[in-house]
Amino acid sequence: MGDFVVRDAKTLDGQSVDIRIRDGVIDRVERAGTLSAGELEEERRFDAEGRLVTPSLTEPHLHLDYALAAGQPRWNEAGTLAEGIDIWAEYKQNLTKDDVKQRAARTAKWLVAHGVTRVRTHADATEESLATVEALLELRRELQDIIDIEVIAFPQDGIFTDEGNQALLREAVEMDVDGIGAIPHAEPTRETGVKSVKTVFDLARKSDLKVDMHIDETDDPGSRFTEVLANEARRHSWGDRTTASHVAALHSYPNSYASKLISLLAESGVSVITNPPDNSVLQGRHDDYPRRRGHTRIDQLQDANITVGLGHDSIVDPWYHYGKGDPLDAAYILIHYAHMSGYDDVSVIWDMLTTANSDIFGCKNYGLEPGSEGSLVVYDSFSAFDTLRLRPPRRLVLKEGTPVARTRPSETTVLQGDERTTVDFQRS
Ligand code: FE2
């Protein structure tokens, strides 16, 4: 593999740099204008002309098996989590491995086009044929040149809701998945919910797997399974391999209990993922007015030094009908509904999109320093703030020094009489 040189790129902290990648690893980062790229062929060099560069993005929470299935057999008009589960249950009666692979591969390429070179996907392990798990495991191998896929066996309908679900989950675990999930708030009772968390930790420890649970994804302040997850992770020293996804009920807990839970999470070392696209529409559906927005307590979790990742969750599926596979869309929603609109929040959002998400995935050598993996994104924008504001095309995406996506942005001209003004939405 040859060298790749990116010249005159702006980092998140505003430095103008040249970056050289050799054998898939960043080996030089110098002040802009220092590194020569003259001897490299055109495909192996890129002049960013002052545009923003970041390490490639990680999507930490997605359902590739559900992606692009929205509207089949019907749209989710109630907007609730439960309605989404019902619609998916109808869809999956006729599901095939080819169907899953086709939709998932299409979506995975949307992610790559947006600068994502790693994705953690959940795979429904309550689908009887387990074609979902099989399809995503095959894609993990087939798409490895452009994106690293991590597959979590996820019992969408619950482990104790149906006689056969526990056996299906065990079967899925044997299929070389990367981790196991649960959905304790969807189990029939408090007791079975607690049992589901403990069952998953037993399986994870036996098979040496990560744990990522959909947990307390409800507005019900009586739903308290995150404490069980945190306690199990603490007991078994599994915190650095455990993720609590959603934790939406934390929004609605009394402050005294929220404070206790956040301390327990911090002690356990568990990470949290918030998923703004889904939770902005799924939560608060049982409220009259005022209507809660139901996302987790991001600021308080971060104040306690808990890693909080930022996921998209659904892309055009029965739970969330919108999306195009861009992590910046999820960030944009979070900025609005979590009141993270201050200028100081720009760096917090970028930390979530880059460092937090890659930590959750367990990335090694993430960053833009010599020795870091040579995977990066150049945006068609010139600062950290404007990139969140514009969510612009990604001009270049590299995975370990190899280009995996390029975008040639379109051009817009405003016509007024004989006057022609090119509009690019940049501030200057
Ligand atoms: Fe999810």
pLDDT digits (tens, 9 = 90+) for 380-427: 999 999 999 999 999 999 999 999 999 998 999 999 999 999 999 999
Structure token digits, residue 222: 């009586």
Nearest to 393 by CA among 40, 159, 114, 45: 114
CA of 69 to the centre of ligand 1 (A): 15
Coil vs helix vs strand at 41: coil
User: Rounded CA gap, 151 and 120, in Å?
Assistant: 6
Model confidence band, residue 195 (pLDDT cutoffs 50, 70, 90): very high
Provide the 3-class DSSP secondary structure of residue 279: helix
pLDDT-based confidence at 6, cuts 50/70/90? very high
Residue 284 shares a structural domain with residue 381 = no
Residue 1, pLDDT > 80, answer no
Same domain, 119 and 44: no
Residues 102, 143 contacting (CB under 8 angstroms): no
pLDDT in tens, 96-127: 999 999 999 999 999 999 999 999 999 999 99
- Examine residue 174 and state whether it is found in any structural domain, yes or no: yes
Q: Quick one: average pLDDT of 158-171?
A: 96
Euclidean distance between CA atoms 322 and 314, whole angstroms = 8
Ligand 1: centre distance to CA 63 (Å)? 6
Whether 427 is covered by a domain: the verdict is no
Q: Report whether pLDDT(66) > 80.
A: yes
116-155 burial, b if ≥16 CB within 10 A, otherwise e? bbbbbbbbbbbbeebbbbbbbbebbeebeebbbbbbbbbb
- Whose structure tokens read 């890659």? 358
Cα dihedral sign, 152-158-162-163: positive
* pLDDT confidence tier of residue 37, bands split at 50, 70 and 90: confident
Q: Structure tokens of 307?
A: 């890693």
Ligand 1 geometric centre to CA of 321 (Å): 14
Spatial distance between the Cα atoms of 285 and 293, rounded to a whole number of angstroms: 9
Q: How many domains does the chain have?
A: 2
Distance, in Å, from the CA atom of 140 to the CA atom of 105, rounded to the nearest integer, reads 10
Q: Are residues 94 and 135 in the same domain?
A: yes
pTM of structure = 0.97
The alpha carbon of 410 and the centre of ligand 1 are apart by a number of angstroms equal to: 33
**Residue of 59, 83, 217, 232 marked active site:** 217
Total Cβ atoms within 10 A of residue 84: 23
| Domain range for 405 | 3-50+367-412
Average pLDDT over residues 125-132: 96
Instruction: For residue 27, give the CATH number of its domain.
Output: 2.30.40.10
| CATH number for the domain that contains residue 315 | 3.20.20.140
* Ligand 1: centre distance to CA 156 (Å): 9
Distance 214 CA to ligand 1 centre (A): 6
Which of 328, 253, 242, 263 minimizes the C-alpha distance to 296? Answer: 253
Percentage of the chain modeled with pLDDT above 70 = 100
Dist. CA 134 → ligand 1 center (Å): 19
CB contact at 8 A, 177 and 170: no
Task: Please indicate, yes or no, whether residues 161 and 107 belong to a single structural domain of this protein.
Answer: yes
DSSP secondary structure, 176-215, as one string: --SEE---GGGSSSHHHHHHHHHHHHHHHHHHT-EEEEEE
| Claim to verify: residue 209 and residue 228 sit in the same structural domain | yes
418 is a domain residue? no
Mean pLDDT confidence for 338-351: 98
Those residues whose beta carbon sits under 5 angstroms from the ion ligand 1 are 313
Q: Which of 361, 386, 401 is the last residue of a domain?
A: 361
> Is residue 382 domain-shared with residue 326, that is, in the same domain?
no
Q: Please confirm, yes or no, whether 217 is among the known catalytic residues.
A: yes
In a domain, 420, yes or no: no
CA of 70 to the centre of ligand 1 (A): 15
Residues 149 and 229 in one domain: yes
| Residue 351, C-beta contacts closer than 8 angstroms, at least 6 positions apart | none
Distance 123 CA to ligand 1 centre (A): 10
Of 361, 377, 400, the one marking the end of a domain is 361
366: helix, strand or coil: coil
Looking at 56-184, which runs of residues are DSSP E strands?
57-62, 116-124, 148-154, 179-180
Judge whether 112 lies within some domain: yes
* Distance from C-alpha of 372 to C-alpha of 366, rounded to nearest angstrom: 6
Last residue of a domain, one of 361, 388, 403: 361
Classify 214 as helix, strand or coil: strand
Backbone angles phi, psi at 357, to 5 degrees: -65, -40
Strands 394-399 and 308-310: unpaired
Judge contact between 372 and 365, C-beta under 8 A: yes
SS3 of residue 377 by DSSP: strand
**Cα-to-centroid distance, 249 and ligand 1 (Å):** 15
pLDDT of residue 91: 96
Amino acid at residue number 352: M
- Model confidence at 24, in pLDDT bands (50, 70, 90)? very high
Question: What was the pLDDT predicted at 42?
Answer: 86
Q: What is the pLDDT of residue 126?
A: 96
Compute the distance from residue 421 Cα to the ligand 1 centre, in Å.
Answer: 44
Do residue 225 and residue 315 come from a single domain? yes
Percentage of the chain lying above the pLDDT 90 cut: 96
In a domain, 424, yes or no: no
Residue 130 lies in a domain: yes
Q: Is the pLDDT of residue 188 over 80?
A: yes
Q: Report the alpha-carbon angle 313-315-317, nearest 5.
A: 100
Q: Domain check: are 78 and 149 in the same one? A: yes
Measured between its terminal Cα atoms, the distance across the chain in Å is 38
Q: Is 53 left (phi over 0), alpha (psi -120 to 50) or beta?
A: beta
Q: Are 173 and 209 in contact (CB under 8 A)?
A: yes
| pLDDT classification of 10: cutoffs 50, 70, 90 | very high
Q: Is the peptide bond before 290 cis (omega within 30 degrees of 0)?
A: yes
Residues 104 and 144 in one domain: yes
Q: Is the domain of 117 the same as that of 263?
A: yes
Q: Is 364 exposed, middle or buried (0-12, 13-18, 19+ CB in 10 A)?
A: exposed
Residues 112, 45 share a domain: no
The pLDDT value recorded for residue 160 is 97
Give yes or no for residue 361 having a pLDDT over 80. yes
Distance CA 318, CA 422 (A): 39
Specify if 230 maps to a domain: yes
Residue 161 CA to its chain's centroid (Å): 28
What is the CA(287)–ligand 1 centre distance, in A?
Answer: 22
Q: How far is the CA of 120 from the centre of ligand 1 (A)?
A: 10
